[in-house]
């Protein structure tokens, strides 16, 4: 069994910080679950274009508000607590946060640990592990 506390993980190298978001990766590939599980905060007033060519991702909004643009269709979806979205088709998308947007995220295949977006908005398949 694996038991971890977010406040402990935030003080370790499981926390990755970028210009528009930070993410604490509570479960990673090395944990052997077959997926990774993260608590991510998107910073207010920011816009993050993403395109996970190598991963499927499910996101659940815990708190905050923002919007998700589906760049495949042009649709805009409000994001608020209780909203889930699943990128089942490696969809190109952009996330905009009005406030701190706190999200629970699951990735399949699991992240190794230190992934940050490359220019296309993807994560490489094999990044450095923590």
Give residues in contact with ligand 9YT (CB under 6 A). 21, 23, 38, 40, 50, 57, 59, 95, 103, 105
- The CB-of-107 to ligand 9YT minimum distance in angstroms stands at 7
Tell me the H-state helices in the chain.
Answer: 6-9
Closest CB to ligand 9YT among 52 and 74?
52
Closest CB to ligand 9YT among 7 and 121?
121
- Go through 2-31 and write b for each residue having 16 or more CB atoms within 10 A of its CB, e for each that does not: eeeeeeebeeeebbbeeebbbbbbbbbbee
- The CB-of-74 to ligand 9YT minimum distance in angstroms stands at 19
- The CB-of-127 to ligand 9YT minimum distance in angstroms stands at 10
- Partner residues linked to 103 by β-bridges: 40, 61
Closest CB to ligand 9YT among 1 and 69?
69
Half-sphere exposure (CA, 13 Å, Cβ side) for 24?
13
């Amino acid at each position: 069994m694996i038991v971890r506390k977010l406040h402990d993980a935030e003080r370790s190298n499981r926390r990755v910080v970028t210009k528009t978001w930070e993410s604490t990766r509570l479960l990673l590939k090395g944990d052997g679950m077959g997926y990774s599980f993260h608590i991510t905060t998107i910073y207010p007033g920011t816009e993050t274009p993403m395109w996970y060519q190598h991963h499927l991702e499910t996101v659940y909004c815990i708190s905050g508000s923002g919007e998700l643009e589906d760049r495949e269709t042009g649709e805009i979806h409000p994001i608020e607590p209780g909203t889930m979205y699943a990128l089942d088709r490696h969809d190109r998308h952009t996330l905009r946060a009005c406030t701190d947007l706190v999200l629970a995220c699951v990735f399949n295949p699991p992240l190794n640990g230190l992934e940050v977006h490359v220019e296309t908005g993807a994560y490489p398949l094999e990044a450095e592990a923590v």
